[in-house]
Amino acid sequence: AQSVTQLGSHVSVSEGALVLLRCNYSSSVPPYLFWYVQYPNQGLQLLLKYTSAATLVKGINGFEAEFKKSETSFHLTKPSAHMSDAAEYFCAVRAAFSGNTPLVFGKGTRLSVIA
């Protein structure tokens, strides 16, 4: 079975500062990993995904994440936070070759950006 742990339900950063949102996964088979962002009263938008190619994945809005198998981590980073980055972020995992199984989500991390 797969699971995801997002450390920190709430992260607050200053505008222009580094954003680091942590995600650790558990999977008995090679995982596919995803980061999604959710703005208030909206659905989820895909930021980036790792599917066993390059371990450093670049996504939209300047975000990137690095897959580290030895640490079972897939942390999301952005060099410089913008006010528009304030939102809820979800890390998700699915086992490779798992057919039509749904993503397993973490509990989410709310990012606040302070002017």
Q: Which of 5, 17, 22, 49 binds other proteins (CB under 8 A)?
A: 49
In angstroms, the Cα distances linking 25 to 73, 80, 81, 108, 114 are 6, 25, 25, 13, 29
Structure tokens at 101: 């199984």
Q: Which of 26, 52, 61, 80 binds other proteins (CB under 8 A)?
A: 52
Shortest Cβ 57–other proteins spacing (Å): 12
Give the binding range for other proteins (CB under 8 A) out of 15-23, 65-73, 79-87, 105-113.
Answer: 105-113
Shortest Cβ 103–other proteins spacing (Å): 6
Shortest Cβ 16–other proteins spacing (Å): 27
Residues 6 or more apart in contact with residue 26 via CB below 8 angstroms = 1, 2, 3, 4, 5, 72
Site string for other proteins, 84-103 (x = CB under 8 A): ------x---xxxxxxxxxx
Amino acid present at 4: V
Cα angle for residues 15, 39, 113 (degrees, 5° grid): 15
